[in-house]
Structure 1
């Protein structure tokens, strides 16, 4: 199982990313993952790093589909692969229904159908194929300019069973979020592996896992809330947690945060204790774990988040 890191902050200046990018160069971390940029676009950040000489493998988990056409999504992902000379995992998700309505005027008529079309189109384009799709949600007749590049694999964000099955059908990578090892192993993995696969190679599974090291003056409940509190206010996250046996109020309060810790969603402890819990993901067949220290960054600052990542990675078996 590989280890990677998630950029634990939303940068306002690209220089803020350098420390975390260098962790990928200096440690056994496989790649730097970024979520959807809110101020600086995540693809622009990756290309800026390449421009100053930090060329590292990159993952986007996940870019929100309503913000870019599948052609633009493929072009942006490939631009990072060309600029960095490193492989890219381009992960996508539809976002919340409210977000879709806000930026598109209305939600996708079918969440699964839109994701299926989107992933197929992007994968075809980054694989330098001639794509001719006239779907219910997207219509593309195009081919990217032919140019040698490092591989771009296409991922799909996964919270629940139906999206997991779709990832197992059409995506190169299934990317889980806020999924305990038991939930990923008992619910998501069977759906991924049981899907009728379109591709020759099986889908890889990447689990983004919120973590924090224990220590003096640290409050696990506050750290869990700072990491996950915003997400668990959304209905689709609450539903996914319910399917894992974790019922939250969605008010970002301490009781919800404690449930995430008790339910194995948020991992807290010494480096050795963190790795004991991460080994559960290895045991169920997860290919890559992405360490998410956003709770530490939000509570104690980016330097503390970087130190946690370094200590956890240095303790990896």
Structure 2
């Protein structure tokens, strides 16, 4: 049976107070904590803090961009987290997007497949303490050796959308991290990973709006869909999934600079496919749909509802209790 993950940090609460939140999260049945790295907290600090206060959680990054940390630094960060942690650590690596890599970090978003492949290969070798000489398409590194080799080797996963990267996740990593998809889409995505590694872990980030107000949910979801699915990598992903005709009106309006029309063009049925909302029991049922489709680790990303107070820890914990209590 799958575990249940949660993306941290949850909200704007200072990391120094994260421990108080995690008491309730742990008691409600969550097994995993996952972090991301974009423009908020870095990925490792929240996990290190959690590992000290709540050592039972499995810890993962979803994701570290393959461009924004050097391969050696990424190795050192993952090794240090594994050295602190008393449970399993998963290093999730992904290409991220042009917005984050180029616009926010001033780097070149070039040859993403090769970059993910080369970074994952380097980190896998370097974490063992091997002296690594590696000249590849993405970089040339000579003579790096990790001085503090963790006793428990972190697993490595690759964030993947379309067939090439999905196959790579099954070939050079321990599994794939997927997001922005429905349970039905999982059936289209996972075979590319599992054909290379039938034992691969499939981690899915699931977007949750813990509200019962459908108007609020859809307003929140429309903003998120417009922000993400207009990014080229996600637009191409949804074309591949077969949503080109459904999303074309939004894309046209967005390209024309009409943001209001783009939001209006997002159909309700797409929101219902890609977002989890409602009562804890209703959200729990949707999580199970993903697991039944082949997800081994569902990870909830809590999205604050537009116009409503931030989601309380109690509401998040209620989802965990509903899910774990029904299994």
TM bucket, shorter chain: 0.7 to 0.9
Residues 286 and 216 of structure 1: CA distance in aligned 2, closer, same or farther (over 3 Å): closer
Query: Which residue of structure 2 aligns with residue 312 of structure 1?
Result: 319
Equivalent-residue separation in structure 2 for 1:95 and 1:162 (angstroms): 15
Range moving further from structure 2, 156-165 or 112-121: 156-165
Report how far residue 190 of structure 1 moved.
Answer: 1.3
- How many residues get paired? 307
Alignment of 1:97-108 (within 5 A): 97-102=98-103, 103=105, 105-108=107-110
- Which residue in 2 is equivalent to 1:63? 64
Distance 1:39 1:284 in 2: 31
Corresponding position of 2:289 = 280
CA deviation vs aligned residue, 1:140-159 (integer Å, no higher than 9, x gap): 33221244433411111112
Counterpart Cα distance in 2 of 1:300 and 1:81: 38
Corresponding position of 1:80 = 81
Secondary structure (helix, strand or coil) at the match of 2:274 reads: coil
- Find the counterpart in structure 2 of residue 36 from structure 1: 37
Question: Aligned residue for 2:270?
Answer: 260
SS at match of 2:4: strand
Residues 3 and 296 in structure 2, CA contact (< 8 A), matched pair in contact too: yes
Quote how far apart the aligned CAs of 1:282 are.
Answer: 1.9
Aligned to 2:112: 111
2:216 is aligned to: 219
**Alignment CA distance shift 1:80-1:26 (3 Å):** same
Match runs of 1:17-166 below 5 Å: 17-50=18-51, 53-55=53-55, 56-102=57-103, 103=105, 105-108=107-110, 110-140=111-141, 141-166=143-168
Whole-Å separation in 1 of the counterparts to 2:270 and 2:214:
20
- Contact 2:216/2:307 (CA < 8 Å) preserved in 1? no
> How far apart in 2 are the matches of 1:301 and 1:174?
34
Structure-1 separation of matches of 2:295 and 2:286: 13
Counterpart residue number, 2:256? none
Does the C-alpha gap of structure 1 residues 97 and 218 become closer, same or farther in structure 2, counting only changes over 3 Å?
closer
Q: State the SS of the aligned residue for 1:136.
A: coil
Partner residue, 1:236 = 233
Deviation at 1:185, TM superposition (A): 1.0
Q: Provide the rounded CA distance (Å) in 2 between the counterparts of 1:24 and 1:122.
A: 31
1: CA distance between counterparts of 2:310 and 2:78?
26
Q: CA separation of 1:12/1:69 partners in 2, compared to 1, >3 Å: closer, same or farther?
A: farther
Partner of 1:6: 7
Counterparts in 2 of 1:314 and 1:12: CA distance versus 1, 3 Å: closer
1:174-253 to 2 correspondence within 5 Å?
174-186=176-188, 188-195=189-196, 202-215=199-212, 219-225=216-222, 227-246=224-243, 247-248=246-247, 249-250=250-251, 251=259, 253=263
Q: CA deviation at 1:107?
A: 2.4
Kindly tell me: are residues 165 and 148 of structure 1, through their superposed partners in 2, closer, same or farther at Cα, counting changes over 3 Å? closer
Offset, 1:42:
2.2
Q: 1:97 to 1:192 in 2, by over 3 A?
A: same
Aligned to 2:255: none
Q: 2:300 aligns with which of 287, 291, 294?
A: 291
Q: Is the 8 A contact 2:208 2:300 kept in 1?
A: yes
TM-score, normalising length: structure 2: 0.83
The answer for unaligned runs of 5 or more in structure 1 is: none
Q: What is the DSSP-based 3-state SS (H/G/I as helix, E as strand, rest coil) of the residue aligned with 1:132?
A: strand
Instruction: State the alpha-carbon separation in 2 of the partners of residues 217 and 164 from structure 1.
Output: 34
Contiguous gaps of at least 5 residues in structure 2: 252-258
Structure 1 residues 254-276: Cα deviation after superposition (integer angstroms, max 9, x where no partner): 442734323x1112233332233
- Shift of the 301–6 alpha-carbon distance from structure 1 to 2, 3 Å rule, reads farther
